Amino acid sequence: MKKLVAEFIGTLWLVLGGCGSAVLAAAYPELGIGFVGVAIAFGLTVLTMVYAIGHISGCHLNPAVSLGLWIAGRFDKKELIPYIVAQVLGGITGAAILYLMASGKEGFETGGFASNGYGALSPGGYDMLSAMITEIVMTFMFLIIILGATHPKAPKGFAGIAIGLGLTLIHLISIPVTNTSVNPARSTSQAIFAGGDAMGQLWLFWLAPLVGAMLAGIVYKLVFAEKE
């Protein structure tokens, strides 16, 4: 239960901090955070939670991460579904808190609510194939970073920095394409409040990250796991 509560709180923070920076701060050009600021915010949420709850739950905060770690032999299968449920619920709760905060301003409209998408919902107008490739590759690399940074032979105490900066870099690359998911829990939480086409496109932001994570888990297990 401690692990599940940690995953719930951690995913809540990821959504509130990362998506919150997009919905609240990025809405004001004079603040100047733009895509770069949002990317940094997402990286900071993971970096802070790695050191806050990493020793409790491993700080997955993401169904794709949990799946990839299981495929790589780093996570117990029996904990997979409970972790995913806790992450999705934490993300939805974070989005609900963000909605209550954002709706306190007169004239507030939900709009895209930092949801993910392709086509008309892509910040840069990228199509479904571009979105699929982007999400698979970015999630694959995210899992490779996580698996490598947490390897027993990796420098101790620096995993959070590598993972947080890795997520920042992923956002810098892919925000224009999909608004960056690499995390089905994060995508679900925002799509629920954005509704409409965001919900209709949500399938891609489950499928692609899970595929990318599975591929990374397989590659890691075949190439690197025997060296641990």
Domain residue limits, the chain? 2-223
> What is the pTM (predicted TM-score) of this model?
0.93
Long-range contacts of 194-199 (CB under 8 A, 24+ apart): 194/110, 194/111, 194/112, 194/113, 194/115, 195/110, 197/117, 197/120, 197/121, 198/112, 198/113, 198/115, 198/116, 198/117, 198/121
The secondary structure of residue 201, as a DSSP letter, is T
The answer to whether the beta carbons of residues 190 and 116 sit under 8 Å apart is: yes
pLDDT at 228: 46
In CATH terms, the superfamily for domain 2-223 is Glycerol uptake facilitator protein. (1.20.1080.10)
Rounded Cα distance between 116 and 195, Å, is 11
121 close to 176: Cβ distance less than 8 angstroms: no
Angstrom distances, CA of residue 108 to CA of 101, 105, 223: 10, 6, 50
- pLDDT for 107 equals 79
What is the Cα 149 distance to its own chain's centre? 17
| Average pLDDT over every residue of 15-20 | 95
Answer for the pair 170, 142: CB distance below 8 angstroms, yes or no.
Answer: yes
Report the alpha-carbon distance of residue 89 to residue 12 in Å, rounded.
8
- Residues 174-185, mean pLDDT to the nearest whole number: 97
Q: Residue 124 has which token pair? A: 């840069």
Dihedral sign from CA coordinates of 49, 53, 55, 58:
negative
Mean pLDDT along residues 102-110? 86
Host H or E run for residue 55: helix 34-57
Q: How far is CA 195 from CA 6, 100, 146, in A?
A: 28, 16, 32
- By CB atoms closer than 10 A (0-12, 13-18, 19+), residue 167 is buried
Q: What is the pLDDT of residue 226?
A: 59
Please give the Cα distance from 125 to 182 (Å, whole number): 18
CA pair distance 71, 12, nearest whole angstrom: 25
Over the chain, what is the mean pLDDT?
A: 93
> Per-residue pLDDT for 227 more than 60?
no
Per-residue model confidence as pLDDT tens digits over 128-176: 999 999 999 999 999 999 999 998 888 888 999 999 999 999 999 999 9
Residue range 33-50, pLDDT digits in tens: 889 999 999 999 999 999
Q: What letter represents residue 162's amino acid?
A: A
Average pLDDT estimate for 14-42: 88
Mean pLDDT of 81-105: 96
Torsion-angle region of residue 73: left (phi > 0), alpha (psi -120 to 50) or beta?
Answer: left
Q: State the average pLDDT over residues 83-97.
A: 97
